[in-house]
Amino acid sequence: MLRLADVKEAALACGFDACGVARADALTDMEYALKEWIAMGWHAGMDYMVRNADKRMDVRLLVEGAQSVVCVAKAYASVLPEGATNHVARYAFHDDYHKTLRDGLYNMAKLLGVKGKVCVDTVPISDRHWAQRAGLGWIGKHTLLVTQRWGSWVNLGELVLTEECDEYDTPLPNGCTNCNCCVEACPNGAISKQGKPMIDARRCVAYNSVENRADEWNEGVETNGYIYGCDCCQEACPFNANGVADRLPIKASRLHEMQMLEQATEEQFRTMTQDKPMNRITYNMWQRNLRHTQTNNKQNNEKNQS
């Protein structure tokens, strides 16, 4: 049996900023309204969410005999230099978090002397809901995990184990009950105003610029200047205004790289993004995003001048 204190000590030793452990029981519909979200069609073109819905709700279908879900969080630099424009989401300025978290979780398993399934984004498990159950934070109305220290500027990963833990963490109370800042900040009204936290992906800038594989974005989506991803809801979150001293500024060199990408050839684009989160999209998708944002900006300028 694992000791919770040992797990958390190993997480810190492997470079993670926070760690919690939850018992591997199935998530409830109250915790994760996945079925309701899919039934409304708000998953848009993300058919993979439908195919593996059962595993996303019950980690024991992903890992036979699962007893514990170790959840980790790693904060990323989110402070833009003064005067900088944010054409891409903050996480995209950094190295590919998939590799960083995956390597750290493998090292953590080795340090603990256990074998487990490492999960980072591409595995059918709901990172934020397990992190919430493990006491790392709570699910905000924008559907992101909100931590007390770093807000929502964190990347998440899990280590699913067949070992039991001597004790498990307790979920935190939801700190977003009387706040609608993220709801009001979304340029397309994609965040549900009432009930369980849900986003209509069809109207979400992040979905249209990253997940949407169509030749064009869904009609009428306001970009707010973003070409890849979107931080509008995170920028409005009061919890993201706390603890700024804990966060590093984004490197000026990374800002310069992003500016260069707007003029890059296909070969340059692939080279410059191969070790970044943006390797998720194709060059054609990048060009589509640029066209949509440029058209959107032009339309807004014309409206303001009329």
Evaluate whether residue 171 is within a structural domain: no
Categorize the per-residue pLDDT at 79 as very low, low, confident or very high, splitting at 50, 70 and 90: confident
> 139 and 27 in one domain?
yes
Catalytic pick among 6, 58, 103, 121: 121
Residue 54 is a catalytic residue: no
Evaluate whether residue 43 is within a structural domain: yes
Say what the pTM is: 0.94
Evaluate whether residue 290 is within a structural domain: yes
Evaluate whether residue 85 is within a structural domain: no
Evaluate whether residue 300 is within a structural domain: yes
Q: What tens digit of pLDDT does each residue of 1-45 get?
A: 999 999 999 999 999 999 999 999 999 999 999 999 999 999 999
What span, in angstroms and rounded, lies between the C-alpha atoms of 275 and 21? 30
The region of weakest confidence among 80-89, 145-154, 164-173 is 80-89
Domain boundary among 112, 128, 161: 161
Mean pLDDT of 94-118: 96
Evaluate whether residue 16 is within a structural domain: yes
Mean pLDDT of 197-203: 97
pLDDT for residue 247: 64
Evaluate whether residue 170 is within a structural domain: no
Is the C-alpha dihedral spanning 193, 122, 277, 104 positive or negative? positive
Q: Is the pLDDT of residue 164 over 80?
A: yes
> 157 and 104 in one domain?
yes
Count of domains forming the chain? 2
> 154 and 16 in one domain?
yes
> 156 and 8 in one domain?
yes
Q: What tens digit of pLDDT does each residue of 243-281 get?
A: 554 567 788 888 888 889 999 999 999 999 999 999 999
Evaluate whether residue 89 is within a structural domain: no
CB atoms within 10 A of CB 13: 12
What span, in angstroms and rounded, lies between the C-alpha atoms of 270 and 93? 15
> 69 and 151 in one domain?
yes
The region of weakest confidence among 159-163, 224-228, 271-275, 295-299 is 295-299
> 125 and 257 in one domain?
no
Residue 61 domain boundaries: 4-76+94-161
